[in-house]
Structure 1
Amino acid sequence: MIPATKTDYRIERDSMGEKEIPSHAYYGIQTLRAIANFPISGIKPLPTYIDACVLIKKATAIANSNLGCIPQDISNAIIQAADEVLKGQLRDQFVVDIYQAGAGTSHHMNVNEVLANRALEILGDEKGNYTRVSPNDHVNYGQSTNDVIPTAIRIGGLLALEHTLYPALSDAIAVLDNKADEFQDIVRSGRTHLQDAVPVRLGENFRAWAQILTDHTGRIERAAEDLQVLGIGGSAAGTGLNTHPQYRQEVVKILSELIGEPLRISPHLMAAMQSMAPFVNVSGSLRNLAQDCVKISHDLRLMDSGPKTGFKEIQLPPVQPGSSIMPGKYNPVMAEMTSMVCFQVMGYDNAIALAAQAGQLELNVMMPLIAYNLIHSIEILGNTLSALTKKCLEGITANRDRCLSYGEGSLALVTALNPHIGYLNAAAVAKESLETGKSLRQIVLDRGLMSESELATVLDLEKMSELPKT
């Protein structure tokens, strides 16, 4: 081993002592302690969560400078450092495992130290000279983990929704609506309990899925309104300790401009840091979406099943070989992936619910778990819907002949005969058809229950499958 030289590390001190910090590192001593304490998962903070924390630091630096709480040159350096991170620089410096000190203090200090050390460089000073720019006294002025982390979860959630999930939902809805128009004239057999049911339009299946996703978009948007209410400025325990009287209003105004959201101050700052209800609400709406996405993905797999021994009413676009041993096999992999992601989101939702009720008194210490699970859920759901849309939904084709064959052969067609021959006669016709293989039409004619012209009108598949106007 090559002996370390004085240029390989710097010495930093905190209230617990001193440590050697790698000279290239922008994080500091508190981050180094967290690295040693929490070698848990190897999972580092999500980029969107880093953005949220850094945006808060940028907004607070601007506000504190405007209010005369920190010097202008230091504020400018912190703002420049924040902008560099927001542009993608120094991302490898955010290194604390997501399973860490309760409430998120370790990650919070990681952010403070990185911005402080980069600000020092910008000012022409050396990293670690915290008498010039301090992670605590300057970057964190007027703040506490108590109010920064719940605010960062809110900002991160809003960013993830706007950048990932909402666009993906919008694209999926548009493609499903287009497919509905394309397939509107195709009649297939409906199925309830996985048994034959009355004929339906293939196009209406796709239109129903589009409506389901539209409804979920509205539910998520309504739940996300809670994320716009911030407790920033509550400082320690919601008291507002060590903050300027105008600080809260100034920070919320600046943050609103930075992310383009109508943010507002919580009517009770202590409540905003104690209750995790906004995150549970949003997570619940994501779970609800995930459940219907599983149902849709399973429908796609069933309707594509085969090709010889299944439904094969539609063809999902093949995107990769489906077997290491069976040549020519293609699997509905995009739909399968969708279900897996949705199951993960449901699991995250359960963990968020457990973490949300685990706070005590003035603080919930499980916020790091909530932060990761909520933002990750939003992003993987958005990425999944985007991939499903591009690699699957856009390329779906219909097997018209197979759909028509099933539609015409469904025993449930007998349902349309009920008003004309009665339920018991209709049941008898269905039973004979199943036993003999004769068509419903032939049996009705043989029994003299209806005329051929009457049957032609009653058993009109297109008319039967037309939805009522709303």
Structure 2
Amino acid sequence: MQTFRLEHDAFGAVQIPQDKYWGAQTQRAIGVFGAGREQFPPALVHAFGQQKLACARANRRLGTLDAALAEVIEQAAQALADGHFDSHFPLTLWQTGSGTQTNMNANEVIANRANQLLGQPLGGKTPVHPNDHVNRSQSSNDTFPTVMHLSTRLALSQALLPALVQLQAALQDKAQQWQTVLKIGRTHVMDAVPMTLGQAFASFAAQIAHGIERVHGCLPRLSSLPQGGTAVGTGLNAPPGFAEAFCEALSQITDTPFTANPCAFEGMGTHDVFVEVSGVLNVLAVSLSKLANDIRLLGSGPRCGLGELIVPDDGLTSSIMPGKRNPTLAEVLAQACMQVMGNHTTVTVAGASSLFELNVAKPVIIHNVLQSISVLSESIVRFTEHLLLGLEVDRAVLARNVEGSLLLATALNPVLGYDQVARITRKAADEGLTPKQAAVALGLLTEQAYDAHVRPDQMVGR
């Protein structure tokens, strides 16, 4: 049977499971909001550990926290950052819009672990108090947005950017590999003039390169932190220099440069940077959707579709059609992009809901931003490693399509003029002829003259 301990706060006594490191405020929050299935990801919890560690170091340095207490708080905060207390964050993300309950949860877990390290039982609040010591010089109002910045900054640099770099390199390799492979370009999803498959993949690679640039463009604003603003941005109850000392400590902890936001009011009352980040992710989703859908279409078939690309076999098939192969990972990537686009709408509305000195949609903003980063990062890696790298070309299909394309006759515009070339393409289309056959039948060119002017490999430009 589960046993309980009795804890007290300003509102009275609370029963808490004996083996849990959270405290009275977290337990009360469970009663109010529930311990729902939708919880903050571990990345946010770990960022809280790093934030509390940096705060303890800053408070110790500035003399506002006893060195002995700071040391044990730092140990407990490091354990939280290392993932040892993930299961002690039971709250749903659907909570107070400032994220206060999760900040209190972090304070209580760290305080209880610190006291335990000092030989005290859980729930005693001595000698380490969750508010007086772990939350010293802080408010949820500056702490939660700081953790939002930190977790997003790290997720972008540690997960999304490496995935994008790998994808861009693979696309560039394909562009180089297929730089001389002719294909028919398509505009309005209809046949157009020739190009190379390498040019198509160079276009994909350029889109992803632009996406990488956009992500890098967000990082400076994510690295500017509101910590030290405390309740409304004035820095009440924080010692002079706390913001700077905190950023210095956090930079050392994460090996990532962070600076104090010169206007903490902006960093707490608005979250424009997260709308910006979500917008960048939305643009990436648009780019990746084109990539996934083009590959799906170019690989459609194998007998009755375009069939120009050969998607690698992933070993999965239909429940009713034996042996059927589907572009599963392209579909995964496309669905991830759909999710990101929807998330961006939520982040936009939440960002526009800032009121006075506090945005109170912080949990839903960070949930959607981190989810977008996560689903993109994971789906990009799977798509790159298990589809793109194994993608092959059906050269016979490509050659047949190029040879039979009506719009090859476009190369004759300077020789015959637009109207005469239109006669060629119309006759070829109406009678099922090749452009060469139509041109000869109309008496406009000999076969030799046609071949001299219509050379697909010379029509692709650079």
Q: Does 1:397 align with 2:392?
A: yes
Which residues of 2 match residues 375-386 of structure 1 at below 5 A? 375-386=370-381
Q: 1:258 to 1:458 in 2, by over 3 A?
A: farther
State the Cα deviation string for residues 263-289 of structure 1 (Å, max 9, x = none). Answer: 211121111101110000010010010
In structure 1, the partner of 2:168 is 173
Q: Are the aligned partners of 1:102 and 1:367 in contact in 2 as well (CA < 8 Å)?
A: yes
Q: Does 1:360 align with 2:355?
A: yes
Q: Are the aligned partners of 1:238 and 1:273 in contact in 2 as well (CA < 8 Å)?
A: yes
State the Cα deviation string for residues 287-344 of structure 1 (Å, max 9, x = none). Answer: 0100111111110110011111100100111213231010110110100111111111
In structure 2, the partner of 1:423 is 418
CA distance in 1, matches of 2:248, 2:311: 48
CA distance in 1, matches of 2:378, 2:333: 10
Q: Does 1:94 align with 2:89?
A: yes
Which residues of 2 match residues 326-365 of structure 1 at below 5 A? 326-365=321-360
CA distance in 2, matches of 1:272, 1:435: 66
Within the candidate set 325, 338, 361, 2:320 is matched to 325
**Other structure's SS at 1:248 match:** helix
CA distance in 2, matches of 1:320, 1:12: 55
Q: Does 1:74 align with 2:49?
A: no
Moved more, 160-169 or 353-362: 353-362
In structure 1, the partner of 2:30 is 35
CA distance in 2, matches of 1:364, 1:16: 27
In structure 2, the partner of 1:282 is 277
Amino acid at match of 1:68: G
Q: 1:115 to 1:18 in 2, by over 3 A?
A: same
Within the candidate set 48, 52, 57, 2:52 is matched to 57
Q: Does 1:130 align with 2:138?
A: no
Amino acid at match of 2:303: K
CA distance in 2, matches of 1:306, 1:316: 10
Within the candidate set 231, 246, 255, 1:251 is matched to 246
Amino acid at match of 1:49: L
CA distance in 1, matches of 2:278, 2:258: 20
Q: Does 1:270 align with 2:265?
A: yes
Q: Tell me how far 1:124 sits from its aligned partner.
A: 1.3
CA distance in 1, matches of 2:254, 2:75: 17
State the Cα deviation string for residues 136-159 of structure 1 (Å, max 9, x = none). Answer: 011100000110111111101111
State the Cα deviation string for residues 78-129 of structure 1 (Å, max 9, x = none). Answer: 1111222222212101111111112100111111111111111111111111
Within the candidate set 100, 104, 108, 2:99 is matched to 104
Q: TM-score if structure 2 supplies the norm length? A: 0.97
Q: Does 1:11 align with 2:3?
A: no
Q: Are the aligned partners of 2:233 and 2:268 in contact in 1 as well (CA < 8 Å)?
A: yes
CA distance in 2, matches of 1:134, 1:66: 19
Within the candidate set 207, 210, 216, 1:221 is matched to 216
Q: Tell me how far 1:452 sits from its aligned partner.
A: 3.8
Q: Tell me how far 1:236 sits from its aligned partner.
A: 0.8
CA distance in 2, matches of 1:40, 1:326: 43
Q: Does 1:313 align with 2:308?
A: yes
Aligned residues: 462
In structure 1, the partner of 2:18 is 23
Q: Are the aligned partners of 1:197 and 1:412 in contact in 2 as well (CA < 8 Å)?
A: yes
Amino acid at match of 1:150: P
CA distance in 1, matches of 2:67, 2:123: 20
Tell me how large the CA RMSD over aligned residues is: 1.3
Q: Tell me how far 1:15 sits from its aligned partner.
A: 1.7
Q: TM-score if structure 1 supplies the norm length? A: 0.96
CA distance in 2, matches of 1:298, 1:259: 38
Q: Are the aligned partners of 1:201 and 1:466 in contact in 2 as well (CA < 8 Å)?
A: no
CA distance in 2, matches of 1:437, 1:300: 29
Q: Are the aligned partners of 2:35 and 2:91 in contact in 1 as well (CA < 8 Å)?
A: no
Q: Are the aligned partners of 2:4 and 2:15 in contact in 1 as well (CA < 8 Å)?
A: yes
Amino acid at match of 2:340: V
Q: Are the aligned partners of 1:45 and 1:95 in contact in 2 as well (CA < 8 Å)?
A: no
Q: 1:40 to 1:66 in 2, by over 3 A?
A: closer
Moved more, 280-289 or 62-71: 62-71
Q: Tell me how far 1:453 sits from its aligned partner.
A: 4.1
Q: Which runs of 5+ in 2 are unaligned?
A: none
Q: Does 1:388 align with 2:383?
A: yes
Q: Does 1:455 align with 2:450?
A: yes
**Other structure's SS at 2:63 match:** coil
Q: Are the aligned partners of 2:300 and 2:306 in contact in 1 as well (CA < 8 Å)?
A: yes
CA distance in 1, matches of 2:315, 2:25: 47
